[in-house]
Chains A and B, each alone.
Chain A
Amino acid sequence: MSALTQSQFFNQLKKYYTFYTGGFIAFVIILAILEQVGVPNKVIGYIFLIATIGLYAGIGIMSKTADVAEYYVAGRRVPAVFNGMATGADWMSAASFIGMAGTLYLAGFDGLAFVMGWTGGYVLVALFLAPYLRKFGQFTIPDFLGARYGGNIPRLIGVVAAILASFVYVVAQIYGVGIITSRFVGIDVTVGVWLGLAGILVCSFLGGMRAVTWTQVAQYIILIVAYMIPVVWLSVIHTGNPIPQIAYGQALEKVSATEQELNDPTTVRGAAEVSARAAFKARQTELEGKIKTLDDAVAAGQGEAFLTAERTAAGNPEDFPADVDALKEKWKKAADAAKKSSGPVAPHASAFSGKGAEKKLLKDNPNATEAEIAAAQAEDEKASDIKRRNFLALVLCLMVGTASLPHILMRYYTTPSVREARKSVFWSLFFIFLLYFTAPALAVLAKYEVYHNLVGISFASLPAWVSNWAAVDPTLMKIADVNGDGLVQLAEITIGGDLIVLATPEIAGLPYVISGLVAAGGLAAALSTADGLLLTIANALSHDVYYKMLDPHASTVRRLTVAKVLLLVVAAIAAYTASLKPGNILFLVGAAFSLAASAFFPALVLGVFWKRANKLGAILGMLAGLGLCIYYMVITYDFFGGVDANQWWDIKPIAAGLFGIPAGFLGVIIGSLISPAPAQEVQELVDHVRYPNLEGSVGTQTA
């Protein structure tokens, strides 16, 4: 293939992937026909699972390579459009595919921080990093730190930060693969995790970046098709317009009107909501009372007796909590859930809503004095301002984090030229944008469905999708007639975020084959991201630590062998961690963005834009950024034993980068100014990366 020119190569790729897309659509149609003639859903699920993983494995085997440049950077000839698709798949994780629309459904406006943060970051990639890193043209991100700042220390800090940020992330992806496969074909999550691992390794093990790139392009096509079909169909059903991104304006208007009605106790439906909320309030009070008697019993040394009495009262069920703490935890959770359902509906589109102190005051005490009202208003305003501050801080951290995650930046090493790298960032964001600007539409359309076709109907005639999902997984769909009026109230429905994407095909009345397609899409999203991350971690170890620091004379064969062995080891550790089902680690994924942003962004950007930046600056900046970010998380995140009271300006731990990023910049600047300017060669290197082609400049192109 190396005999081909770049444009012949491009045309060939176009042909391959057009055939591939056509073939995939034909495959889905055949499965749809099989479903119609009576093949059971489970078989269709298995066919989807085996066929797609088999396909990725096939591409992986076809792309096997023994060439270092092919293994690390796909031979640097991936055209802009294809690199864009690969980056899209690399970027969009299980959380984006399955979770994003659900987050927007549950959080409304406040969820948009993720939509903005995870797209706007590409502006920073385009303006500050991609073209320059491409011109630098090595293999990893620590490579740039090593060459620009000299010595092994900046490189080593880069390696540690890259692994820290990527590892939590990859564990979450592998766990996601386990969940999807288990839900999809009914196998145990742990088995699903190891199955997913096999799927990830077959593509990356033989062909490294080259195999991962071409698999990711294939995965992008599956995931975008799978995401769009149900949404478009839902949009046609509800609005008659096949472009959901435009059509959902109408749906949003109706949703907002319904929200007002449901929050107004003088309307019939509003009054029904009030009674359902009151029932939840009573339940919450009851549970809190029970927790108090439990605490009293424990304080009196009667904990065990209390537990036994409760167990007997509950009829000795097998899943009854084994100790007092677990029982208390269970009740606390139930009380929190009841509390959530006892409040009014939060309007979907309203930005940074306060806590409703004024409304509550007027309801409890219609004759409140002006001073009391003013105090409540001030309280609302304060809550709203804190929300806004956190929203802005989170957006910043997600954006800068996007522009600092090594598995994304690495992708821009694979284009043939600086020119293509610039175009490639555009294509990357374009392909990501397709999904991200659809997610808000899906959230609103799903809300419309729930408000108009679920709320107010009788429990005897629930739609099939509701009872199906309630039976399959109560964490996703819970519905109960709490106030006993036989009708569904909004407060009586509890929805888990993941339900929105998973149930959309059924809500839209599409056949099971589309549900299978959606699961395959989720799987593609999780696998592709896991691939990119694993490769980043393994390459940081094999290339930066082994080759650059331990044995710079290693032969090509040896380098690749080490790379592959490390890939296996890292993958096994990640899968083992995932199989422990660490629920909390999912919270840490958000933290990865703040960590990467604080550690990398200042040193990378100043490395290109400020010639005076030097080794001491880079070391200080990276350590200060990373250190402050970790410190803030530890003192404020309850997972590490931190408490809210330690927060600075009420900023949540997920946005710790708000402090880490400036600390990183300050560190680089101060460290550089108190030590001598970098050597002439380094300054020439900076000029070299700034200009796409500078005659007679030092070369860094080794591949």
Chain B
Amino acid sequence: MQLTEKHREYWSKNLRLTAILLAIWFVVTFVATYFARELNEIVILGFPLGFYMGAQGALIIYVLIIWYYARTMNKMDKEYGVHEGEE
């Protein structure tokens, strides 16, 4: 079937969201780890920051990224009329 303008817009919005979230993932994972030695100079509540990011900080952000993606996309499906029926 032929895709409408609306469909294309949905897909490009999806791509944009994916790219932004992937960029956050990249910074949290690779940039933060690359500078872990420097970040470790900062100590919060007993945790050197570089260590904390690897042990917990990054993990929390991963969970949030996925949560945000699911929520936004599920809303966007409805907005663009491409959501599934039932329930």
Is there contact, CB below 8 Å, between A426 and B1?
Answer: no
The residue of chain B having its C-beta at the shortest distance from the C-beta of A391 within the complex is B33
A436–B84 Cα distance when bound, in Å, is 34
In-complex Cβ contact of B46 among A122, A253, A388 (8 A): A253
Q: Whole-angstrom distance between the alpha carbons of A253 and B69 in the complex?
A: 36
**A417→B86 contact, CB < 8 A:** yes
Residues in A whose Cβ lies below 8 Å from that of B34: 388, 392
State the CA gap A426–B69 with chains docked (Å). Answer: 9
Are A116's CB and B33's CB within 8 A?
Answer: yes
Please state if B83 and A116 are interface contacts (CB–CB under 8 Å): no
Q: Is the interface of B mostly helix, strand, loop or mixed?
A: helix
Q: What is the interface size of chain A, counting residues whose CB is below 8 A from a CB of the partner?
A: 59
A351 with B69, Cβ < 8 A, contacts A112-B51, A419-B83, A419-B84 known: no
The answer on a CB contact under 8 Å between B87 and A351 is no
A253, A352, A392, A687: the one contacting B30 at CB < 8 Å is A392
Decide if B40 touches A116 in the complex (CB within 8 Å): no
User: How far in angstroms is the closest Cβ of chain B from A204?
Assistant: 28
B36 & A120 in contact (Cβ 8 Å cutoff): no
Cβ contacts under 8 Å, B70 to chain A:
126, 422-423, 425-426
Tell me the B1-60 residues at the A interface (CB within 8 Å): 1, 3, 7, 10-11, 14, 18, 21-22, 25, 29-30, 33-34, 36-37, 40, 45-48, 50-51, 54-56, 58-60
Chain B residues closer than 8 Å to A429, beta-carbon distance: 62-63, 66
Q: List the B side residues contacting A433 at CB < 8 Å.
A: 59-60, 62-63
A146 and B52 alpha carbons, distance in the complex (Å)? 43
| Residue A462 is within 8 A (CB to CB) of chain B in the complex | no
* A440 near B87: Cβ-Cβ < 8 Å: no
Beta-carbon contact of A123 and B74 below 8 Å: no
Given contacts A120-B25, A392-B33, contact A693 B63 (CB under 8 A): no
Binds B, one of A514-522, A526-534, A617-625, A694-702: A694-702
Contacts of B65 on A, CB cut-off 8 Å? 123, 126
When chains A and B are docked, how far (Å) is the Cα of A245 from the Cα of B51?
A: 13
With A349-B51, A422-B70, A692-B84 known as contacts, the answer to whether A123 contacts B59 (CB < 8 A) is no
A299 to chain B, nearest CB (A): 46
- Within 8 Å by CB of B62, from A123, A250, A253, lies A123
For A118-144 the 0/1 string (1 means CB < 8 A from B) is 011011101110010000000000000
Select the residue from B25, B47, B62, B66 with max chain A CB neighbours within 10 A: B66
Instruction: Give the CA-CA distance A417 to B84 in the complex, in Å.
Output: 7
Residues of B contacting A396 in the complex (Cβ-Cβ under 8 angstroms): 30
Is A163 positioned at the interface, with any CB of B under 8 Å from its CB?
Answer: no
Q: Is the CB of A123 within 8 A of B25?
A: yes
Query: CB < 8 Å: which of B36, B47, B73 contacts A249?
Result: B47
Task: Flag if B30 contacts A384 (CB, 8 Å).
Answer: no
Instruction: Say yes or no: A120 contacts B7, CB within 8 Å.
Output: no
Beta-carbon contact of A425 and B82 below 8 Å: no
Please tell me if A684 contacts chain B, counting CB pairs below 8 Å. yes
Can you give 20 contacting A-B residue pairs, CB < 8 Å? Answer: A7-B87, A109-B51, A116-B29, A122-B62, A126-B66, A126-B70, A127-B21, A253-B46, A351-B33, A351-B40, A384-B37, A392-B33, A416-B87, A417-B86, A422-B69, A425-B66, A425-B70, A692-B83, A693-B85, A697-B1
Nearest 9 A/B pairs, CB to CB: A249-B46, A112-B54, A351-B36, A440-B55, A422-B70, A253-B46, A349-B51, A126-B66, A249-B45
Which residues in B have some Cβ–Cβ distance to A below 8 Å? Answer: 1, 3, 7, 10-11, 14, 18, 21-22, 25, 29-30, 33-34, 36-37, 40, 45-48, 50-51, 54-56, 58-60, 62-63, 65-67, 69-70, 73-74, 77, 82-87
New A-B contacts (19) at CB < 8 Å, excluding given A5-B87, A392-B33:
A112-B54, A115-B59, A116-B54, A116-B58, A116-B59, A250-B46, A252-B46, A253-B46, A349-B50, A349-B51, A391-B33, A392-B34, A399-B29, A418-B84, A430-B63, A687-B3, A691-B10, A692-B77, A694-B82
